[in-house]
Structure 1
Amino acid sequence: MPTIAQALEDVHRRIAQAALAAGRNPPEIELLAVSKTKPATMIREAWSAGQQAFGENYLQDALPKIQALADLPVEWHYIGRIQSNKTRDIARHFAWVHGLDRLKHARRLSDQRPEALPPLNCCIQVNLSGEASKGGVPADALEELALAVNELPGLRLRGLMTMPDPASPREAQAAVFRGLADLRHQLEKQAGLSLDTLSMGMSGDLELAIAAGSTLVRVGTDIFGARE
């Protein structure tokens, strides 16, 4: 097994190769290390290797790790499903939220964001694959939600997030990524929003996502190994 430092190097190499193949500049794409289910010791090891942003899905697992790593200026991203009873802790302890899909949750996050902290960076999750089990706002409801989120003082709308069905054909996955890029363009052109983030692409499909315009890929398995 490679070390975490070696795994990070390999992932950065993949990102760079995918970017160059798409005619893009590799530094345009940020790597978010998905550390869900992994212990704080592994996150600290990845930090020592140069990784600064980490994504967590489960609040109850994330909070002890955030406390254990309080000596490090880690940029914490919440990438799990948002529930109303968890918004206060998300608003207090994270710099980013990637799965926003309800105005009710957005309002709670904004109201509960401590004044001493900068606005909470947010990506709206869009369900483009049509999976009933997956979160995300439908494409036809996106603009209304985005405009409302953009007005909330405790939040900063940064962009959009999506996840294609991993069991679908590669071309179908690529189409989902291209669809999200198109939606971002529409919001900027028609609604006047300024969005700098497309959060899409994981260990198995990051090349497809980068080809479609991803600015942030969420990688866990290829850095930390399979989920325990």
Structure 2
Amino acid sequence: MAPDSPEAARKAELTKNLARVEERIQSACVAAGRKREDLTLVVVTKTYPASDVRLLAELGVRHVAENRDQDAAPKAAACADLPLEWHFVGQLQTNKARSVAGYADYVHSVDRLRLVTALSAAALRTERELGCLVQVAFDAASGTVGERGGTAPDGVTALAEAVAGAQGLRLDGVMTVAPLTGPYAGRAEEVFEQLREISTGLRAAHPAANMVSAGMSSDLEEAVRAGATHVRVGSAVLGDRPRLG
């Protein structure tokens, strides 16, 4: 890589951004009395090219996330030689389950029984085990889906039991996205605290389901304070402008 090449400049930019995010995570962990090793940074690479994923891997990133299968599938294939774990974090149509099961290690956005059935069939077909998180939507009423996907809090137990009983799937925990509208808009930490309570209840029946996926670039500190085990950070690492590759 030439020192003055665009690739070198991009790597320098990513290095700087990762350092800033790491400093934020470290500070949040200290403030919360938590160990840094108890928190996993998942870099959300949506809209960015496979070349950025390669640079991130060179910089030590091991967990990356995507939210659209049509972008994720070719990117994961192009980066199949890298030591990465792939997280699918977007709303997932059942007809995309087979494709996602081919590359994802974790699906954070399990929010309905039909999707559990589709993912189970796909996991068996691809002979891979999928780690699944139940997405909780605090802007959803009972029996409805939130604006960004997710089941209402009172639907978590039934959905978790379905995942736990499905072949090819592993119940790993819960996920949420802070609502943009409704009574919890602008109250991210309160939402994350409630997610922690749901996680505690879930672990009583499923001790291994200990992942709590919460927090993004704008609210990762609140998520750390509320006990998140995984934060999903995109723009703070990769920048605000979409890069089509």
Structure 1 residue 192: Cα displacement: 4.5
Answer yes or no: is 1:139 the counterpart of 2:149. Answer: no
Structure 1 residue 103: Cα displacement: 1.4
1:115-126 to structure 2, matched below 5 A, reads: 117-126=127-136
Answer yes or no: is 1:154 the counterpart of 2:168. Answer: yes
* Partner residue in 1 for 2:113: 103
**Secondary structure of 1:113's match?**
helix
Contact 1:37/1:227, CA 8 A, preserved across alignment: no
**Secondary structure of 2:102's match?**
helix
Specify the code of the residue in structure 2 equivalent to 1:200: A
Structure 1 residue 15: Cα displacement: 0.7
Specify the code of the residue in structure 1 equivalent to 2:148: K
Q: Please list the CA deviations of residues 21-68 of structure 1 after superposition, one character each: whole Å capped at 9, or x if unmatched.
A: 001101100000000000011111111000011100111111121121
Structure 1 residue 193: Cα displacement: 4.5
Could you tell me which of 88, 93, 101 is aligned with 2:98? 88
* Partner residue in 2 for 1:180: 195
1:1-228 to structure 2, matched below 5 A, reads: 3-114=13-124, 117-130=127-140, 132-166=146-180, 170=186, 172-189=187-204, 191-228=205-242
Structure 1 residue 224: Cα displacement: 0.4
Q: Call closer, same or farther: CA 1:137–1:51 in 2, change over 3 Å.
A: same
Contact 1:56/1:62, CA 8 A, preserved across alignment: yes
CA–CA distance in structure 1, aligned partners of residues 94 and 228 of structure 2: 29
TM-score (norm 2): 0.86
* Partner residue in 1 for 2:5: none
CA–CA distance in structure 1, aligned partners of residues 109 and 206 of structure 2: 22
Structure 1 residue 129: Cα displacement: 3.2
TM-score (norm 1): 0.93
Say which one has the larger Rg: 2
Structure 1 residue 164: Cα displacement: 1.0
CA–CA distance in structure 2, aligned partners of residues 147 and 225 of structure 1: 38
Once structures 1 and 2 are overlaid, which stretch shifts more, 82-91 or 58-67? 58-67
Structure 1 residue 225: Cα displacement: 0.2
Structure 1 residue 227: Cα displacement: 3.8
CA–CA distance in structure 2, aligned partners of residues 117 and 15 of structure 1: 36
CA–CA distance in structure 2, aligned partners of residues 114 and 156 of structure 1: 12
Structure 1 residue 4: Cα displacement: 0.6
**Cα-Cα RMSD:** 1.9
**Secondary structure of 1:217's match?**
strand
Unpaired runs of 5+ residues, structure 1, are none
Identity %: 38
Specify the code of the residue in structure 2 equivalent to 1:52: R
Q: How many residues align?
A: 226
Specify the code of the residue in structure 2 equivalent to 1:127: A
